[in-house]
Amino acid sequence: MRLDKFLKVSRLIKRRSVAKEVADKGRILINGKQAKSSSTVKAGDEMTLQFGNKTVVVRIDKIVETTKKDEAQDMYTIISETSVPRAGDSPF
User: Residue 20 is part of a domain; what is its CATH number?
Assistant: 3.10.290.10
Q: Which domain holds residue 17?
A: 3-83
Among 58, 64, 33, which residue's Cα sits nearest to residue 44?
Answer: 58
pTM: 0.83
Q: What is the pLDDT along the chain (92 residues), one digit of tens a residue?
A: 999 999 999 999 999 999 999 988 999 999 999 999 999 999 999 999 998 889 999 999 999 998 898 889 999 999 999 987 766 555 55
Asked whether residue 74 is assigned to any structural domain, the reply reads yes
In angstroms, the CA 25 to CA 8 distance is: 17
Asked whether residue 91 is assigned to any structural domain, the reply reads no
In angstroms, the CA 45 to CA 89 distance is: 34
